Structure 1
């Protein structure tokens, strides 16, 4: 009865239990990640796993997806106990996961990544035409604007997220696991994904969904299971549970307003971008400015140029025309090191790919941008005691948990990795802070801490830019907001003009909007 063919053929009616996790624990060396947790997924529902970073959500879905096996407890699929011994086996049963951390091969194209490990072969010959046709169909059905022949390393992070999502649909799905799938998607791509989720629900697919965004929970969730410190807390109805109750369950404490009230006091301009265009044509004749004492938001769809604009100012991308004036000086096409030394700090959206050295310690990562400065360097020798004192102070200030700065960054949760990334900008004198997707993959409690941190920088007189695909984030945190579309500036919004409606209507061509 527990053969793979029988498991696939058994039909489960909507509302019946599709997957059950019973008393599962998972122990890693020195860490009890999950402690006697039970959870069930019904056919045709979206069940949200909710909790702070490090609560055990990722461990739970990794076991259901076949990445890890439980230390104790049992997993039942369609009423039968199963040993999910590998990702491949889990997929053969119809259990497919889209993890927050991508598993793509950058040198391969989209269609090769979609079918990696599951290639169509006949007589030991790869059926390339069949793969291409199937890849085109998957992308079209999902509504993703991607070509099968595109090389993945040249795609934006959001486009790579789309490839990860598409991989889950190369075969029939019974259980779909989505781990922060909208972290790099804008409203339009998110809408496409949610329409897909609704379609899957109607077909009886069970969806396990991890998110920290309350609006998403309200929109698509049926039930919510809350985990805290590796333990089960409660399962609640998504429609009737209040936001404050949900946060209290998650944190075990009362969390106030998510977005802080910020006292904006703009001064003279510190950054002026004048008619700027880039050599790769991603930015076309854009002019914006930023002043100390304000937070300026940059919003737009994937590929709109909101990140590319600032990366060009910071020296990551080349400017073909126009000027970048920083603190009264023409800094156009200066190197990133020169921009850092002038007080311009850019915190990238991909903390693992660009922001952090994952196999090194928190201490080393925090001090990395400033090793040549006198506070850490004397006669070209690293002042270890000074480094330890300074980095420990910053880690404490940002409430790193656990407070073990000699531990490798890869062993921390996503929210705590983000805190290490933020701590890097405090090791030197900075006049302009740029935070590109500052709360990707972090829980509500950590979001509140990050927003307070950014607000304090602004109120202490720094200039701040927030680049974000999360509309509530840029709308509620910005003093002024620029909206970009296809590499051009669409509009500038101020004060009461900064509303979701005004932002969304500028996401598209003026004549279309």
Structure 2
């Protein structure tokens, strides 16, 4: 058994864990549940040797583990798949899988054996990964799969999965859940962190809940109820996750016709988004939907087709140009593309608005005014921090996402493009993000939501375009946008006759 008792961990100005306990048995899936900032990631980092707590005991098979290093944790059978990837971007997939554990033969790296073992594990997972591809070229889902393969090849007895399905479409999620169940059946103890209730109900044998760094309680499988878990997690009753957003379509804000990108990921996409509505762009990971948003913001080169903003043709060349044109884009990978992790909260919130008179003048930034504006935006999104000078890397995933979204409140935008807006955030933060979308929409903005979360895109959108292999295969309106029909379109199937009549 892996067992932690009375774990206390402090960071400068923060009590991250306060007398926390957790136990994991071999052959058990134990869910660790709580809001972003509850202490889950800190506890996981204690388990794998990244953090040393000030108080408490940590034992594996009865042996004291306090003060262990990541290498010692691995030797004792503890491995983790983190939400924030630990991959070297310039190395190949194969090199990342074996990094620090390379196999040797006669004093030389045995790449042939490393490749054979990796291919065998991928086949077991029923997953295709290009082993020779440079990791920086992979999609987020492929990077997640690389992390999982790396953990499985360490022959761990205890594996921690931190939001392993956050970047995956529902179809791919089932493959990950199957792998986790097979690990459990092989006697591996699994710590599973997720905010998806369906996954918790399907997997969990026990659930331990943390709130504000404190241990709230552990419940058994037959006690798992959504209302109870949310109440334990937040200290309040179950909230309405998806708000009712009035559909008040006005003038056309974004129009795309026959769009194709230089990368080839988008081949023929046409769509429109009007003021006062939320339009979903759905599809499997890798279908090209994310590249549509990037093309609209000047991050992908366009080779064919036209993009119109309020009826005026534009040729997106840079994010700066599109910001000035009234377009706000939130990337799916907040760590790599959305935030400067080593800079303070205030700078990250205001970085898209430094040319505005309210932030500075004559090319100089008024630091007091910058902090005040950032503070107001942070308070509106209920950002959990008292110090705007805190480096972003110190915050939870949900708070990082709120910092990214706070930029939407600093200047007037006509169009908001959200790419995977709720990846890795808890239920409370999701509700707040959806409330922000509702407020922006009802204030007259146009919103394009790009999402692999089937439930999210169906419930938050007024209309849905489904993408398959870089092309729009369905345009589903109210009454036609059911989860079953959207999912069917992911594989290129056209809507049935009844759906087409409703859509028209």
Normalising by structure 1, we get a TM-score of 0.94
1:372 aligns with 2:364: no
Separation in 2, partners of 1:408, 1:330:
40
Residues 406 and 28 of structure 1, relative CA distance in 2, 3 Å threshold: closer
Give the secondary structure class of the aligned counterpart of 2:9. Answer: strand
Query: CA contact under 8 A between 1:120 and 1:130: conserved in structure 2?
Result: yes
Show the counterpart of 2:139.
156
1:237 aligns with 2:223: no
Separation in 1, partners of 2:66, 2:345:
36
1:271 aligns with 2:271: no
Instruction: Give deviations 1:358-407, integer Å, cap 9, x for gaps.
Output: 11111111111111122223122222332222211111111111132122
Show the counterpart of 1:338.
321
Show the counterpart of 1:221.
204
Query: CA contact under 8 A between 2:201 and 2:224: conserved in structure 1?
Result: no
Matches within 5 A, 1:34-53: 34-53=17-36
Instruction: Give deviations 1:251-278, integer Å, cap 9, x for gaps.
Output: 1122421111111101121111000111
Give the secondary structure class of the aligned counterpart of 2:252. Answer: coil
Instruction: Choose from 374, 399, 405 the match for 1:422.
Output: 405
Query: CA contact under 8 A between 1:95 and 1:174: conserved in structure 2?
Result: yes
Instruction: Give deviations 1:186-236, integer Å, cap 9, x for gaps.
Output: 112211101111111111111101111112111211111001111110111
Residues 68 and 384 of structure 1, relative CA distance in 2, 3 Å threshold: closer
Give the secondary structure class of the aligned counterpart of 1:117. Answer: coil
Query: CA contact under 8 A between 1:64 and 1:84: conserved in structure 2?
Result: no
Instruction: Give deviations 1:73-105, integer Å, cap 9, x for gaps.
Output: 212222333346122221222211001111101
Separation in 2, partners of 1:507, 1:289:
20
Where structure 1 has 5 or more consecutive residues not aligned to the other structure, the ranges are 1-17
Matches within 5 A, 1:29-428: 29-83=12-66, 85-428=68-411
Instruction: Give deviations 1:267-307, integer Å, cap 9, x for gaps.
Output: 12111100011111110111011001110111111110111
Separation in 2, partners of 1:365, 1:506:
38
Give the secondary structure class of the aligned counterpart of 2:409. Answer: coil
Deviation at 1:472, TM superposition (A): 1.2
Normalising by structure 2, we get a TM-score of 0.95
Separation in 1, partners of 2:212, 2:289:
37
Separation in 2, partners of 1:30, 1:420:
20
Separation in 1, partners of 2:61, 2:368:
58
Give the secondary structure class of the aligned counterpart of 1:424. Answer: helix
Query: CA contact under 8 A between 1:348 and 1:435: conserved in structure 2?
Result: yes
Deviation at 1:70, TM superposition (A): 2.5
Separation in 1, partners of 2:14, 2:366:
33
Separation in 1, partners of 2:199, 2:314:
41
Where structure 2 has 5 or more consecutive residues not aligned to the other structure, the ranges are 497-504
Separation in 2, partners of 1:157, 1:90:
27
Separation in 2, partners of 1:454, 1:39:
37
Show the counterpart of 2:501.
none
Show the counterpart of 1:463.
446
Separation in 2, partners of 1:238, 1:484:
38
Deviation at 1:163, TM superposition (A): 0.6
Instruction: Report how many residues are paired.
Output: 496
Separation in 1, partners of 2:288, 2:47:
38
Instruction: Choose from 491, 494, 501 the match for 1:508.
Output: 491
Give the secondary structure class of the aligned counterpart of 1:284. Answer: coil
Show the counterpart of 1:476.
459
Show the counterpart of 2:499.
none
Separation in 1, partners of 2:51, 2:367:
38
Moved runs in structure 1, 4+ residues, more than 6 A?
A: none
Query: CA contact under 8 A between 1:63 and 1:84: conserved in structure 2?
Result: no
Instruction: Give deviations 1:42-70, integer Å, cap 9, x for gaps.
Output: 22221111111111111111111121223
Show the counterpart of 1:433.
416
Separation in 1, partners of 2:108, 2:65:
33
Give the secondary structure class of the aligned counterpart of 1:496. Answer: coil
Separation in 2, partners of 1:220, 1:186:
18
Query: CA contact under 8 A between 2:251 and 2:310: conserved in structure 1?
Result: no
Query: CA contact under 8 A between 1:396 and 1:403: conserved in structure 2?
Result: no
Separation in 2, partners of 1:30, 1:387:
23
